[in-house]
């Protein structure tokens, strides 16, 4: 009997929602996101066709800003949360305990934005999937603005709460190493990957899309041999999947995702440049969406709302400082021009 991904012994056929009648799927998100990766892997596993975009549709943008992933099934309303999307696609329900364990394996994510040229450079190599030139160009341009949002979110998160590395990022996968030792098949769910396999493998893809210390510990930690074996099993199973960043770092090795065309990278960098040129406005918009997001989590009673409010306050303070510095620069230029006259 298939497992729910909750534990090796828990049966979960009743946790799944039927997905046989789904005819149309729309997905918003970037494949650097572990949660978007989980959905894309799930769609690949079931052979479901879908359309995707890297900038949020208007309905999503008005509700949640650039948060991802978001999905719409059969032209129904959009909804967030990767575990809910997976369940609607016919995968098993994920327990809160397992979801927390998956999030703990995201250790090191704050290092993604340590070196901004690498951060934006890696994102520039991905592309909006639209086949038509003009929509794809616009999509890549707008996608850059969402990436600016997440860059600021990470950096202000580090400033607001501080960040201290563990002695070994591999510790975050020890609990999974123990789970892998109890597997009765090639995957946590048995002979085929299920929700937890997909979510955890999405985390691995995120670590590999912009290399962070966790990746290097995953590669070298002698305690994680079964974890590397499971990664290899997942890579072999998804060998025809085009967004495997882990192929470069783990066996069986294969080429990584195909980089975007030059014109698509140009559209992305153009969006970054304009976003930075309008930085006071950009940061104010980012603060607004963090405020919106904090209200969303506040309705759920999550302590994340408090953390987001901290970020919002810091972003507003930094926005005011940037505006002040810009005004001082303009004043200095004005004074210099007067003296020149």
Instruction: Please give the pLDDT value at position 197.
Output: 98
Number of neighbours of residue 194 by Cβ within 10 angstroms: 25
Beta strands 70-73 and 25-28: pairing type?
A: antiparallel
Total tally of structural domains belonging to the chain: 2
8 A C-beta contact, residue 92 and residue 5? yes
Residues 104, 213, single domain; the answer is yes
- Of the candidates 291, 277, 207, 290, which has an alpha carbon nearest to the alpha carbon of residue 249? 207
Residues 229, 313, single domain; the answer is no
Residues 68, 106, single domain; the answer is yes
Residues 151, 293, single domain; the answer is no
**Residue 204 falls inside a structural domain:** yes
Residues 230, 317, single domain; the answer is no
**Residue 212 falls inside a structural domain:** yes
Residues 193, 243, single domain; the answer is yes
Instruction: Please give the pLDDT value at position 4.
Output: 46
Torsion sign, CA atoms 310, 316, 317, 321: positive
Residues whose CB is less than 8 angstroms from the CB of residue 315 and which lie 6 or more positions away in sequence, other chains included: 152, 156, 283, 286, 287, 290
Q: Is 336 exposed, middle or buried (0-12, 13-18, 19+ CB in 10 A)?
A: exposed
Q: What phi, psi does 241 have (nearest 5°)?
A: -85, 130
**Residue 272 falls inside a structural domain:** no
**Residue 163 falls inside a structural domain:** yes
Residues 170, 215, single domain; the answer is yes
Residues 186, 307, single domain; the answer is no
8 A C-beta contact, residue 268 and residue 124? yes
Distance CA 310, CA 18 (A): 41
**Residue 168 falls inside a structural domain:** yes
Residues 49, 191, single domain; the answer is yes
Residues whose CB is less than 8 angstroms from the CB of residue 317 and which lie 6 or more positions away in sequence, other chains included: none
Residues 57, 184, single domain; the answer is yes
Distance CA 250, CA 232 (A): 7
8 A C-beta contact, residue 188 and residue 194? yes
Q: Which of 228, 248, 268 is the last residue of a domain?
A: 248
> What does the H/E/C string look like for the chain?
CCECCCCCCCECHHHCCCCCCCCCEEEECCCCCHHHHHHHHHHHHHCCCCEEECCCCHHHHHHHCCCCCEEEECCCCCECCHHHHHHHCCCCCCCHHHHHHHHHCCCCHHHHHCCHHHHHHHHHCCCCCCCCHHHHHHHHHHHHHHHHHHHHHHHHHHHHHCCCCCCCHHHHHHHHHHHHHCCCCCECCECCCCHHHHHHHHHHHHHHHCCCHHHHHHHHCHHHHHHHHHHHHHHHHCCCCCCCCHHHCCCCCCCCCCCCCHHHHHHHHHHHHHHHHCHHHHHHHHHHHHHHHHHHHHCCCCCHHHHHHHHHHHHHHHHHHHHHHHHHHHHHHHHHHHHHC
pLDDT, mean of each 10-residue run, the chain (341 residues): 40 52 92 97 96 92 87 94 94 94 91 92 94 93 90 78 80 95 93 96 97 95 97 97 96 95 95 83 67 54 46 52 54 60 55
Instruction: Please give the pLDDT value at position 335.
Output: 60
Distance CA 287, CA 315 (A): 6
8 A C-beta contact, residue 57 and residue 43? no
Distance CA 171, CA 204 (A): 14
**Residue 259 falls inside a structural domain:** no
Residues 233, 300, single domain; the answer is no
Residues 232, 282, single domain; the answer is no
Residue identified by tokens 């056929």 is 13
Domain hosting residue 301, numbered range: 278-340
8 A C-beta contact, residue 28 and residue 60? yes
Say how many Å lie between the first and final Cα of the chain, rounded.
85
Instruction: Please give the pLDDT value at position 240.
Output: 95
Distance CA 195, CA 242 (A): 20
The enclosing domain of 225 has a CATH number of: 1.20.1050.130
Instruction: Please give the pLDDT value at position 22.
Output: 87
Lookup: tokens for 293: 């997001």
Give me the residues paired with residue 27 across strands: 52, 71
């Amino acid at each position: 009997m298939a497992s729910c991904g909750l534990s090796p012994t828990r049966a979960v056929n009743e946790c799944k929602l039927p997905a046989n009648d789904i005819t149309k799927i729309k997905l918003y998100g970037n494949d650097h996101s572990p949660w978007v990766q989980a959905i894309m892997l799930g769609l690949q596993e079931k052979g479901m066709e879908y359309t995707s975009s890297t900038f949020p549709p208007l309905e999503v943008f008005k509700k949640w800003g650039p948060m991802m992933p978001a999905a719409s099934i059969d032209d129904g309303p959009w909804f967030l949360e990767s575990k809910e999307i997976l369940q609607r696609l016919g995968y098993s329900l994920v327990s809160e305990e397992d979801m927390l364990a998956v999030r703990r394996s995201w250790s090191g994510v704050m290092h993604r934005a340590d070196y901004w040229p690498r951060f934006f450079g890696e994102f520039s190599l991905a592309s909006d999937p639209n086949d038509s030139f003009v929509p794809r160009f616009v999509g890549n341009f707008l996608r850059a603005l969402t990436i600016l949002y997440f860059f600021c979110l990470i950096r202000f998160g580090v400033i607001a709460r501080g960040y201290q590395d563990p002695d070994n990022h591999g510790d975050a996968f020890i609990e999974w190493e123990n789970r892998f030792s109890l597997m009765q098949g090639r995957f946590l769910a048995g002979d085929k990957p299920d929700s937890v396999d997909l979510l955890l493998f999405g985390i691995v893809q995120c670590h590999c899309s912009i290399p962070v210390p966790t990746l290097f510990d995953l590669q070298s930690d002698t305690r994680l041999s079964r974890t590397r074996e499971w990664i290899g099993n997942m890579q072999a199973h998804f060998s025809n999947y085009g967004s495997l960043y882990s192929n470069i770092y783990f066996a069986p090795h294969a080429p990584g995702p195909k980089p975007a065309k030059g014109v698509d990278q140009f559209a992305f960098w153009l969006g970054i440049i304009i976003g930075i040129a309008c930085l006071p406005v950009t940061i104010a918009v980012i603060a607004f969406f963090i405020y919106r997001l904090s209200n969303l989590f506040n309705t759920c009673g999550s302590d994340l709302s408090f953390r987001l409010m901290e970020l919002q306050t810091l972003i507003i303070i930094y926005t005011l400082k940037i505006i002040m510095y810009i005004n001082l620069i303009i004043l200095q230029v004005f004074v210099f021009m007067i003296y020149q006259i």
